[in-house]
A and B are shown apart, each in its own frame.
Chain A
């Protein structure tokens, strides 16, 4: 109720008294709202980005109804557009710096709209109507870093519709920029001001019997229930209508039945049979709509057929593979090719052997550490090279086998073979650890057969004229140069050179010479033979063409005092026995006395020599001589 004015009979009512009556009624009305505590935006005034094209204004839906804290009614009947580019004082709301934002507060406030002006008795203009209206205020808070900018404080005589966020360079206000979290929605009355009766309640036990306390209790109960911390109830307490293959009518029974049915492994009624599955398209296989059981059976059949296929299941390129280690391919085919390529690689550093691991190999003196084949091959090669380059002490020769493909040895390893060879060698040679190492001891040869056995054949420094051969026959040893025996004749190594040699036996020694240049010959053109076992054995006996030059001389002295013819002479013995009597003897003077006449004459020549004589007429007590040379040819 309102305070009342009791106007009385014949009272002259003043303007102020009439206004007071309205004010008291209006005050009672507002006191009612204030006493109840009702205030806030009841409906409408919902903020949205400006339509149709968002800009820096927002739209408020109509009709809008609200009460402020003084119980004054705020109402607008048409949609409102609020310019957020400036605040209520006309100051721009833009954000000057990047990385910052600014909050705007959109408020609505009660106001009165004066209208219908009239002139009162004092000739003053007054407005006869003062209708309720509203006013919208845009207030801006200072800018701050994005996410932490402060919002505009609530105003005591205004209602906050929403907060609007402005950003740097912003040209549109969109839905995310509008925040209604702090919107001052309508509150009808304070809950703790309304009492309830809880005496018969079985669950709720509010601290005090007020609506607020009861709601708090309900909230706590629901919170406990919804969070599961308390006030849970059994699933059997939740009804559920029977459905499908589930016949139970409460949640617990339905869940149990569902679990039992789904976990069933019974043949013919497995759980998968209870689960439906839609059709699955595919090529070459597709699944029709059915149950999981049916589709699993079909897939199993396909899988078994695929896995059991011995060939042609599908291309390896169709099998995906995850890149691993150095294999980058993403299919089995690609990875297999990459593996083959990598294993066949001969590139330094990435050779195929470097891709293959190998465990450690024990051994002595060498062992291989665990690593790659490449590393172990390198280690082996190094060990082999070290072995081969080892100047001494690599290992015992007895550890090296001997193949002996020719079957020449009894030994089966190098140590024994060397010993065997050295045993044979040292019979006729000095060993390496003896003086005169490698030189021959006695050279012994068995019967070599043939007519003349070749004992030695030496080329010397390579000239055919100096090629030495030594032969042996049944009686003699032959040393020849540029002549070899082919079994029936002598053969020249070179037809540009003479052949020569000598032969000795137990009975004679013979020097040999052949000067025909014929490729072969059977007799030597000249020989010098010393017949050691002959009766006459003091000189060489010659064969072939013989030419000997020697000294011969005579001197006479006439012991008479008258001229006399004196005979002089002597004999010459050839140095060697000619093959026959000489066919020519020539005397050549070297020095003769002035009175010497003619030339010496020869007499009775034979193969051993000749006689010579001369007759000279010499004056009394005179002397004559002749000294010269002879040349004998046979």
Chain B
């Protein structure tokens, strides 16, 4: 699965297993996956696909990750959408409890929001990422959002 649009209220998700598209409310999402006493704060588990049951985990970029080597590619755009959604969830407090301290605070480095500059450059028309279809075709086509 992959997400193709992030709005203030929801996320457009396309299942990587069955290609089903559906919107998921942001308020239904949460940052972090706990494993015993460990919590990976870069992950955002998505609800199972209503069509096939596949489960997607969105992964925020590592803190020390360099700039994406393929600027403007779908992979690069998806990376930024995920980082922005992750930051939005942190902002909204939609964080796994294991990531919060006793006062309910989260580490300041948990989120990695997009810079204004990148947002203006790559998402001037909204937080959307388009992905080309499989490359067997001759003519350029856009994937439906």
Contacts and interface: CB of A to CB of B under 8 A. Distances in A.
Partners in one complex: yes
Interface of A: 496-498, 513, 515, 517, 523, 525-526, 543-547, 549, 567, 579-589, 599-606, 613, 629, 631, 633-634
B54 to A, nearest CB: 4
Contact of B140 (A517, A580, A588): A517
Nearest to A569: B35
A515 B132 contact: yes
Nearest to B52: A588
A603 B75 contact: no
A613 B138 contact: no
A579 B68 contact: yes
Interface in B54-95: 54-62, 65-66, 68-70, 73-76, 78-79, 81-83
A358 B115 CA distance: 103
B29 interface: no
B5 to A, nearest CB: 14
Contacts of B68: 579-580
A631 to B, nearest CB: 4
Interface in B11-66: 15-18, 33, 35-36, 38, 40, 42-43, 45, 48, 52-62, 65-66
Contacts of A584: 1-3, 16, 56-59, 78, 82
Given A583-B78, A631-B1, A633-B16, A545 B40 contact: no
B69 A603 contact: no
Interface string B88-112: 0000000000000000000000000
- Of the listed residues B33, B36, B43, B70, the one surrounded by the most CB atoms of chain A closer than 10 A to its CB is B70
Contacts of A582: 59
Nearest to B61: A581
A544 B17 contact: no
A585 B59 contact: yes
B35 A601 contact: yes
Given A517-B140, A599-B48, A588 B54 contact: yes
Interface string B123-140: 000000001100100111
Contact of A602 (B36, B59, B66, B82): B59
Contact of B1 (A546, A586, A600, A601): A586
B141 to A, nearest CB: 10
A322 B48 CA distance: 125
B69 A497 contact: no
Contacts of A496: 138-139
B108 to A, nearest CB: 21
Contacts, number: 128
A601 B30 CA distance: 14
B123 to A, nearest CB: 15
Contact of A580 (B16, B33, B79): B79
A602 B75 contact: no
20 contacts: A496-B139, A526-B70, A544-B73, A567-B36, A579-B69, A580-B79, A583-B78, A583-B79, A583-B81, A585-B59, A586-B15, A588-B18, A589-B54, A600-B55, A601-B35, A602-B33, A602-B40, A603-B43, A605-B59, A629-B17
A498 B35 contact: no
B18 to A, nearest CB: 8
A496 B36 CA distance: 53
B78 A601 contact: no
B58 A602 contact: no
A498 B17 contact: no
A517 B55 CA distance: 34
A581 B73 contact: no
B70 to A, nearest CB: 4
A517 to B, nearest CB: 5
B81 to A, nearest CB: 8
B33 A603 contact: yes
A580 B61 contact: yes
B17 A599 contact: no
* Top-4 shortest CB links A-B: A588-B17, A588-B54, A599-B55, A545-B75
Contacts of B38: 603
Nearest to B67: A580
B69 A543 contact: yes
Nearest to B66: A580
A606 B66 CA distance: 13
- Of the listed residues A543, A584, A602, the one surrounded by the most CB atoms of chain B closer than 10 A to its CB is A584
A334 to B, nearest CB: 83
Contact of B62 (A544, A581, A589, A599): A581
A445 to B, nearest CB: 33
B11 to A, nearest CB: 12
Contacts of B33: 601-603
A525 B70 contact: yes
Contact of A583 (B36, B53, B58, B139): B58
Nearest to B33: A601
A497 B65 CA distance: 33
Contacts of B66: 580
Nearest to A590: B17
Contact of A633 (B48, B75, B83, B140): B75
Contacts of B78: 545, 583-584, 633
B16 A604 contact: no
A278 B78 CA distance: 138
Given A580-B75, A583-B59, 20 more contacts: A544-B73, A545-B70, A545-B131, A549-B16, A581-B65, A584-B1, A584-B3, A584-B56, A584-B82, A585-B56, A585-B59, A586-B1, A586-B54, A586-B57, A588-B18, A600-B55, A602-B33, A602-B40, A633-B75, A633-B78
